[in-house]
Amino acid sequence: MGDEAQILSGTVVAQEIREKLAAQVIALKEKHPDFTPGLTIVQVGNREDSNVYIRAKIKAATDIGIRASQLKLPASISEQELLEKIRDLNNDPTVHGIIVQMPLDSEHNIDGAIALNAVASAKDVDGLHIENSGKVARGILNDCFIPCTPNGCLELIKKSGIKIEGARAVVLGRSKIVGSPMHDLLVWNNATVTTCHSRTRDLPDEVRKGDIVVVAIGKPQMVKGDWIKKGAVVIDCGINAIPDSTKKSGQRLVGDVDFEEVKKVASYITPVPGGVGPLTVAMLMNNTVLAATRCITKSA
């Protein structure tokens, strides 16, 4: 039992971050009594999974003193109308952060990238605008918004106490939201980084080289114990529902890592749920408070 990996709890770290942000918001309001950080979440259509995520974000924002609202638009909205709504929010001085909830539940197959890039880069608290993505790729990390999931992963890696500088890191997955920016963050924190994907040859051999392994591939329990170097830190970004007849719902949530196998080899591992997920929302709140603070600094 003593040889098993220590659990990196995203729930605990997220709580620490939220408490710090709540104190920052109180300090902002004391200095500027008429000021409240504002966040608006734009939703097209009515996907139930999106509704769940939006409720969680609004609750987290409200808890730390951010004024959060949801702009719910019909699935029938045209691309032009959506872009006009986003433009209005860009021009609204009471809104400091804007999220376009993905995927868009649109009858017109609106391109999500067009909607994301319509958000002013200074209000893009998801960190998905092409300008923010470019800055992360170039290491200009103090003048951009870092995407929330990779930023949360970085916090968990730091909590493990492993020295990132000089470490070998392996990222499984190259999505624009997680894998690619995770690679960039690790590079600019001086790790030597390999990004693996569906075309990588000898995948287990590549993963086995990692002192730090971040997995974001969307395949349940794909990474096995014999893929992992003894003592590695393993961060699992996956969240997949698999059948489980012992559960009332008939299914349970698992990551992209086979937790039971990998915990016997790794030094630290994130659970699913309760690992990366809570950090993603906490980092979104962090970006919103940062956007509001920059707004005040700019107008001062």
- Segment 50-65, tens digit of pLDDT: 999 999 999 999 999 9
- Segment 167-210, tens digit of pLDDT: 999 999 999 999 999 999 999 999 999 999 999 999 999 999 99
Q: How many CB atoms lie within 10 A of CB 208?
A: 16
CA dihedral 13, 133, 294, 115 (to 10 degrees): -100
Classify domain 146-277 by CATH number. 3.40.50.720
Tokens representing 300? 């001062």
According to CATH, where is 3.40.50.720 located in the chain? Answer: 146-277
* pTM listed for this prediction: 0.95
Amino acid found at 119 = V
pLDDT at 235 over 60: yes
pLDDT at residue 190, as a whole number: 98
| Helix boundaries (H) for the chain | 10-31, 48-63, 79-90, 112-118, 130-138, 148-160, 179-188, 203-207, 259-262, 276-299
Catalytic residue among 31, 57, 123, 159: 57
């001085």: which residue's tokens? 93
- Segment 199-225, tens digit of pLDDT: 999 999 999 999 999 999 999 999 999
Mean model confidence pLDDT for the chain: 96
pLDDT at residue 2, as a whole number: 58
Q: How many CA atoms lie within 13 A of 84 on its CB side?
A: 6
Any catalytic annotation for residue 57? yes
Find all residues with CB under 8 Å of 104, minimum gap 6, and list them.
44, 45, 110, 112, 115
Tokens representing 169? 């890191």
- Segment 275-294, tens digit of pLDDT: 999 999 999 999 999 999 99
pLDDT at residue 300, as a whole number: 64
pLDDT at residue 85, as a whole number: 98
- Segment 122-161, tens digit of pLDDT: 999 999 999 999 999 999 999 999 999 999 999 999 999 9
The span from the CA of 39 to the CA of 291, in Å, is: 10
pLDDT at residue 298, as a whole number: 82
pLDDT at 295 over 60: yes
Give residue 33's pLDDT band: very low, low, confident or very high (50, 70, 90): very high
Q: Among 1, 3, 5, which residue's Cα sits nearest to residue 267? A: 5
The span from the CA of 261 to the CA of 224, in Å, is: 6
pLDDT at 1 over 90: no
Find all residues with CB under 8 Å of 172, minimum gap 6, and list them.
179, 196, 197, 203, 207, 213, 214, 215, 216, 217, 223, 256
- Segment 82-114, tens digit of pLDDT: 999 999 999 999 999 999 999 999 999 999 999
Classify domain 32-120 by CATH number. 3.40.50.10860
Phi and psi (nearest 5°) for 118? -80, -20
Give residue 299's pLDDT band: very low, low, confident or very high (50, 70, 90): confident
According to CATH, where is 3.40.50.10860 located in the chain? Answer: 32-120
Question: pLDDT above 70 covers what percent of the chain?
Answer: 99
